[in-house]
Amino acid sequence: MLKPGSTIGILGGGQLGRMLAMAAAQLGYRCIAYAPEKDPVAGDVCADLFTNDWHDAKAMAAFAQKCDVITWEFENVPVEPLAPLTQRLAPHPRALETAQDRVLEKRFVENLGGRPAPWKAVDDRGDLMEAIERIGTPGILKTRRDGYDGKGQWRMASARDAEGFNRTGTPLVYEGLVAFEAEFSVILVRGKDGAVRYWDSPHNVHESGILARSSLPAPAVVTEQVESARALAKQVADALDYVGVLTCEFFATRQGPVFNEMAPRVHNSGHWTIEGAATSQFENHIRAICGLPLGDTATTGSAVAMENIIGKAAAKAHAFLADPDAHLHLYGKATAREGRKMGHVTRVTHG
Ligand code: AMP
C-alpha cells in the first residue's frame, strides 16, 4: 500500500492524466507527468512535468527515480523505453503492447473466445482486395497502430473505393462494418489481489468516430448483453494480470456483443462516474495502482448523461453553468481544433 505523500508518475499529459492527478491529490498523493506533447494539460495540476521525448532514456530514468508508482493515461506511449521501468509500472506494459496493435488485440480477444468484427490484416493492395472479397463491403480500413478518435480510418462503401485507395504501405486492418443496434462499454477496475468491480455500462453514441455522449440507464438491447461482455472483459483483465481501470468497447448486435476495442486506461465513456458513481474511475484507478481497497462502483442517480464538448463548442461552455444540474469540466486546452475534446458536462438525475 502506497503511503499518502508518495509520488505517482503519469505517462501522457492529456485530460485523463489531469483528472487522474486531481483524484490522486484527494487521496493525499502527488503526481508528476511525462508528456512530450505541445499542450500537456495534465501538467497544470501536477507537481512536476517532464516534456522530453519518449525515447530520451536519461530523462525517463530521472522521471522514474522520482516516482513510487508509474501509470499511463495515453495508450500510444511507446513500450520499448518503458522496459527499465516495468517494476514500478501499473498496469503491466503487456496491456499496452496488446492494445496498441489492432491485429494483436483482435487475436488476443479471439483466443479468449471473444468475437470481433470480421477482419483481415492488410499490408498491400492484394491483401485489401482479398479482404473485400472475403468480408465484403461496407467496411472500414484502419491503421493497425496509433489510431484514436476515428483518426486513421477510411470507410469503404464498395470495392471501387478500395481500388482508389492509395495509402497502403502503413500496416492496416480491414473490418466488416457491424450493423449494430447500439454501442456500449464495460469499464472495470481490477485490484492487485485480482478483485474486479464494474461500473454500469453506458450507452455510447459516436459522431464522426468521436464519442459524443454516454448515458444511463442504457437501453435493453445493451443491458441484456452486459453480462456476457463483462465476462469477456474480465477474461481480458485476468489474462493480462491487469491492475487499474480497463475499458472494453462493444457493439450490441442482434447476435450478441461484438468486441470493438480495448483501452488499457480510464476512458471517456467513464467520465460520468465523477458525479454519477459512488467512486469515480479516476479514484479507483489510483486506489488500484496504489494497492488501496477499491471503492464502490454503484451508480448514484436514476439517470446520468455525459456530453463531450468538442472543438469550438468550448467557447460557449460556460453557458452550462446556468443549469443547476450540469457539472462542467474544462480541460484547459489552449486551442480548440476541430474534433478536439475540450471538456465535458455531466448531468445526474436523482429520484
Ligand atoms: P474505433 O476507434 O475503432 O473505436 O472506431 C470509432 C467508432 O467508429 C466506433 O465507436 C464506431 O462508432 C465506428 N466503428 C469502428 N469500427 C466499426 C465497425 N467495424 N463497424 C461499425 N462501426 C465501426
The model carries a pTM of 0.97
pLDDT at 278: 98
Residue whose CA is at the smallest distance from ligand 1 atom 11: 209
- DSSP secondary structure letter of residue 264: S
**Confidence at 8, pLDDT banded by 50, 70, 90:** very high
Q: Does residue 152 register a pLDDT over 90?
A: no
CA dist., res. 130 & res. 232, Å (int):
30
Q: Does residue 168 register a pLDDT over 80?
A: no
Residue range 182-349 forms a domain whose CATH class is: alpha beta
Ligand 1 site, residue 217, Cβ cutoff 6 A: no
pLDDT at 161: 86
From the CB of residue 100, how many other CB atoms can be counted at a distance below 10 Å? Answer: 20
CATH number for the 118-176 domain, one of 3.30.1490.20, 3.40.50.11610, 3.10.20.30, 3.40.640.10? Answer: 3.30.1490.20
- DSSP secondary structure letter of residue 137: S
pLDDT at 38: 85
169: CA distance to ligand 1 center in Å?
A: 22
| Angstrom distances, CA of residue 298 to CA of 150, 198, 222, 275 | 30, 8, 18, 11
Percent of the chain clearing pLDDT 90 (strictly above): 91
Every domain range in the chain assigned CATH 3.30.470.20: 182-349
Ligand 1 site, residue 175, Cβ cutoff 6 A: yes
Let me know: does 132 contact 174? Beta carbons within 8 Å: yes
Cell of 150: 476515428
Every domain range in the chain assigned CATH 3.40.50.20: 7-89
Report the atom number in ligand 1 closest to the C-alpha of 139.
19
pLDDT at 164: 79
269: CA distance to ligand 1 center in Å?
A: 14
- DSSP secondary structure letter of residue 113: T
pLDDT at 134: 97
Using one digit for the tens of pLDDT, what is the confidence trace for 33-63? 999 988 899 999 999 999 999 999 999 999 9
Residue whose CA is at the smallest distance from ligand 1 atom 6: 209
Ligand 1 site, residue 183, Cβ cutoff 6 A: yes
Average pLDDT, whole number, for the chain?
96
Percent of the chain clearing pLDDT 70 (strictly above): 99
7-89 fold: Rossmann fold (3.40.50)
Our mutation pick for probing the ligand 1 site, out of 132, 143, 260, 268, counting the most ligand atoms within 8 A of Cβ, is 260
pLDDT at 192: 97
156: CA distance to ligand 1 center in Å?
A: 13
| Angstrom distances, CA of residue 302 to CA of 199, 202, 265, 298, 350 | 14, 13, 26, 11, 5
